[in-house]
Copies of this chain bind each other. A is one copy, B any other.
Amino acid sequence: MSDIVLEALGKLSISAQVISHEPVTDAASWAQALKTQDVPKFELTKTLILKPKTAKTAAVTPVVVIALESSETNATAIGKKLSLKDCRFANEDLLSTTFEATKDNVSPFSLSNVKDLSLVRLVLDAELNGTSLLAFHPNDAAKTIFITVDQLKSYFASIEKEFVEIDFKALAAAKPAAGEKPAAKAPKAKKEVAAAAASTEDTNQMGLGCKKEEDFPKWYQQVLTKSEMLEYYDVSGCYILRPLAYNVWKEITNFFDAEITEMGVEDTYFPMFVSNRVLQREKDHIEGFAPEVAWVTKAGNSDLEEPIAIRPTSETVMYPYFSKWIRSHRDLPFRINQWCSVVRWEFKNPQPFLRTREFLWQEGHTAHLTLKDADVEVKQILDLYEQVYNDLLALPVVKGVKSEKERFAGGYYTTTVEGFIPTTGRAIQGGTSHCLGQNFSKMFNITVEDPNAPANATDEAKKLHVWQNSWGLSTRTIGVMVMTHGDDKGLVMPPRVALIQTVIVPCGLTVKTTKEESDKIFDACKDVAARLKKSGLKSKADLRDNYTPGFKFNHWEIRGVPLRLELGPKDLQKNQVTCVRRDTGVKFTCSLDNLEAEIKQALDTIQSDMYKKAAKKMEESIVRVNKWEDFVPTLNQKKLLLVPWCDRMACEDDIKERSTRSANDEEEEDEKAPSMGAKSLCNPFNQPTEDPIVPGVTKCVACEHDAKHFMLFGRSY
């Protein structure tokens, strides 16, 4: 909620209920969002900004109309009533410059943003007076505030703004075209409002309503909710993973768990609760997490003796027990993993999958006799993370080592797989495999007797602190997948992680089709689905009889089903199905005789093509830059930069600062990343071989020191 609204209400001592929901863009989705919330009886409203015609050089004199959502509001009629000429709905420009608002979040409170209120006329729907509570956005499309009409009027009084009331019902009745249509009666049951609004908006709701390249944040939100992958939740920063999303996590789990089991890692489950004492034990480590720790202080009506934390990660939870369980070098390597959720109560803007207060992950924790053993495992795990991205999610990553500044607090070194979101040109840390060195083993006294110590060594000299690793991969993976592959039609799912890999839609049925013919087509669809399912492919026949094929195509496209099979009378005649790839839209036919093998082949091709396309994009987006002059301009072209670097923390800080300032000078940032500077992403394992660093000759891209290696820099999530 914008501070200005808080301030305004605070001054008036108005304490109103405010609730959060997914950002809404129309009455239908608003009603829908409120439907799941427990609120008293209320009425939806609309705030409209009209612009009467004025001389080009004259100041604009907007009309603000506050009405029930259900009232008929006609710009021309209102203009006429106010004796204004050519009154039209204002464009986004006027909204943003005069009211600092968009059509989605504009509200009566937007008046507080207006510099010269005397230029504005304010009109109220007379129907507002009959209501109990009114729902407005508090200048924020993801929130709703409930106030009474009297509270609204006292707000206007507080900003000294007069208003006129208009009987829109009478106005509508007076309009010749309005005929007998009665205006909606207030108050109306909210369920009815929702249902009515939803039905009239159904067609709109089906598509995304925005383009990926034009409004990426809105596109992301729409693609997640409209594909039914994710649902916004009434606790901020928490989201519901619906089957489409959870299935991706299941596939990742199945793959990764089998691999680490083969390596000898065993699954465990540690409690989600941590006592304060244990949590605080490794000070450096906890420092990074402390501000985000959620605390349980009550059970039922009783206060707990001492607050108990919910794990933000499990190093300090597990390692006291490592010291108990690891008694001999023969217990090494000691390796456990757990699949669980962790809680980090971030106060920054939450974002589905990428930044959430609770998220699912796996965390592996291992102990080794030597650094060398630990090193080997760090890389093995990183390779598995790379496989999750490449082979399951069809996404490229760059493997490398984090800089000193970016490495895990309390660790020895951190390796990472870095992903890339082409649309924003930002990198994203995709998974990390840390070597913790002996820092934690010294803190928690995890020791064994060194089997390689000389026989005559003292007990103290024989004592060896184990070398530890920890590594984690989270549901963030799903966000990267959606952002990279999705398009203006919705999700595009890589076949390996798709809940439904092929959908079969009966086609070509017309009014002339006989019942017998149509039964035959439906049976054939069922048969194809059954055959594919039997061969291990996740398939579904969409046999709903009340939807057109076109509706079904949209339905499954938005959900990203990799391959659509169309089966009509002509197909059946030719003993074939028509196939349409979701990723490319390419159409081809497939003989029913060879169905299973060909469809399997097609899905493999889609998987591999999706990877290739994304990899090519990432490859093109990594640019070699040797001079500072090129740094920010290249960054601003949504690229990642591979630069010769001196590997000094001071230089990294400097790069961030200079790229932030320069960014502000040169261009507007996207709203989610205001004035964001470049961070180091990793020291890639694959260093360029062409035109390599010449020790003592090649300089750092940003300072006068010698370059030590190439480093990947970029804006990052």
Q: Chain A: residues with CB nearer than 8 A to chain B?
A: 32, 35-38, 191, 228, 231, 233-235, 238-243, 246-247, 249-250, 266-275, 277-278, 281, 290-302, 307-308, 310, 320-321, 323-325, 330, 336, 340-341, 343, 345, 347, 357-358, 360, 445, 499, 544, 546
Give complex CA distance A360, B38 in Å. Answer: 29
Are the CB atoms of A300 and B292 closer together than 8 Å? Answer: yes
Least Cβ–Cβ distance between A565 and chain B, in angstroms: 20
Q: How many copies of the polypeptide does the oligomer hold? A: 2
Give complex CA distance A357, B247 in Å. Answer: 28
Chain B contacts for A270, CB-based, 8 A: 233, 240-241
Chain B contacts for A240, CB-based, 8 A: 268-271, 321
Closest to A341 in B: B272
Chain B contacts for A295, CB-based, 8 A: 296-299
Are the CB atoms of A36 and B323 closer together than 8 Å? Answer: yes
Are the CB atoms of A330 and B297 closer together than 8 Å? Answer: no
> Knowing A295-B299, A297-B295, A546-B330 touch, does A242 contact B271 (C-beta < 8 A)?
no
Least Cβ–Cβ distance between A236 and chain B, in angstroms: 10
Are the CB atoms of A36 and B320 closer together than 8 Å? Answer: yes
Q: Could you list 25 examples of A-B contacts with CB < 8 Å? A: A36-B321, A37-B277, A38-B278, A191-B445, A231-B321, A235-B271, A235-B273, A241-B269, A243-B268, A243-B336, A246-B269, A247-B266, A247-B267, A250-B267, A266-B499, A269-B360, A272-B343, A291-B301, A293-B299, A294-B298, A295-B298, A296-B297, A297-B298, A298-B307, A302-B347
Partner of A308, one of B235, B267, B544, B546: B235
Give complex CA distance A273, B302 in Å. Answer: 19
Are the CB atoms of A544 and B298 closer together than 8 Å? Answer: no
Are the CB atoms of A233 and B269 closer together than 8 Å? Answer: no
> Knowing A234-B275, A277-B38, A330-B546 touch, does A267 contact B246 (C-beta < 8 A)?
yes
Are the CB atoms of A35 and B267 closer together than 8 Å? Answer: no
Chain B contacts for A275, CB-based, 8 A: 234-235
Give complex CA distance A246, B340 in Å. Answer: 12
Chain B contacts for A38, CB-based, 8 A: 277-278, 281, 320
Give complex CA distance A294, B275 in Å. Answer: 15
Least Cβ–Cβ distance between A88 and chain B, in angstroms: 36
Are the CB atoms of B324 and A37 closer together than 8 Å? Answer: no
Partner of A324, one of B35, B266, B296, B499: B35
Give complex CA distance A271, B291 in Å. Answer: 21
Chain B contacts for A320, CB-based, 8 A: 36-38
Chain B contacts for A281, CB-based, 8 A: 38
Leading 3 A-B pairs by shortest Cβ distance: A299-B345, A243-B266, A238-B271
Chain B contacts for A336, CB-based, 8 A: 243
Chain B contacts for A325, CB-based, 8 A: 228
Closest to A308 in B: B235
Give complex CA distance A330, B35 in Å. Answer: 21
Partner of A239, one of B239, B249, B271, B297: B271
Closest to A240 in B: B270
Partner of A299, one of B247, B250, B266, B292: B292
> Knowing A36-B321, A323-B36 touch, does A267 contact B291 (C-beta < 8 A)?
no
Given A240-B271, A302-B347: 13 more A-B contacts, CB < 8 Å? A36-B321, A37-B320, A233-B271, A235-B271, A235-B275, A238-B271, A242-B268, A243-B268, A247-B266, A250-B267, A269-B360, A272-B341, A293-B299
Chain B contacts for A231, CB-based, 8 A: 321, 324
Central interface residue in A272, A281, A293, A360, by most chain B CB within 10 Å: A272
Chain B contacts for A296, CB-based, 8 A: 294-297, 310
Are the CB atoms of B293 and A358 closer together than 8 Å? Answer: no
Give complex CA distance A249, B238 in Å. Answer: 26
> Knowing A307-B298, A336-B243 touch, does A238 contact B293 (C-beta < 8 A)?
no
Central interface residue in A37, A250, A295, by most chain B CB within 10 Å: A295
Chain B contacts for A228, CB-based, 8 A: 325
Least Cβ–Cβ distance between A6 and chain B, in angstroms: 12
Chain B contacts for A300, CB-based, 8 A: 290-293, 345
Are the CB atoms of A278 and B234 closer together than 8 Å? Answer: yes
Give complex CA distance A231, B323 in Å. Answer: 13
Give complex CA distance A357, B238 in Å. Answer: 23
Give complex CA distance A308, B266 in Å. Answer: 33
Give complex CA distance A266, B242 in Å. Answer: 9
Central interface residue in A38, A191, A239, A273, by most chain B CB within 10 Å: A273
Are the CB atoms of B267 and A235 closer together than 8 Å? Answer: no
Chain B contacts for A330, CB-based, 8 A: 544, 546
Are the CB atoms of B35 and A323 closer together than 8 Å? Answer: yes
> Knowing A294-B298, A296-B310, A299-B345 touch, does A358 contact B271 (C-beta < 8 A)?
yes
Chain B contacts for A233, CB-based, 8 A: 270-271
Chain B contacts for A293, CB-based, 8 A: 299-300
Give complex CA distance A233, B544 in Å. Answer: 53
Least Cβ–Cβ distance between A228 and chain B, in angstroms: 8
Give complex CA distance A264, B439 in Å. Answer: 49
Least Cβ–Cβ distance between A534 and chain B, in angstroms: 12
Chain B contacts for A247, CB-based, 8 A: 266-267
Give complex CA distance A228, B242 in Å. Answer: 36
Give complex CA distance A358, B298 in Å. Answer: 15
> Knowing A38-B281, A235-B273, A238-B273 touch, does A297 contact B297 (C-beta < 8 A)?
yes
Least Cβ–Cβ distance between A473 and chain B, in angstroms: 16
Chain B contacts for A241, CB-based, 8 A: 268-270
Least Cβ–Cβ distance between A125 and chain B, in angstroms: 28
Chain B contacts for A310, CB-based, 8 A: 296, 310
Closest to A198 in B: B327
Closest to A343 in B: B272
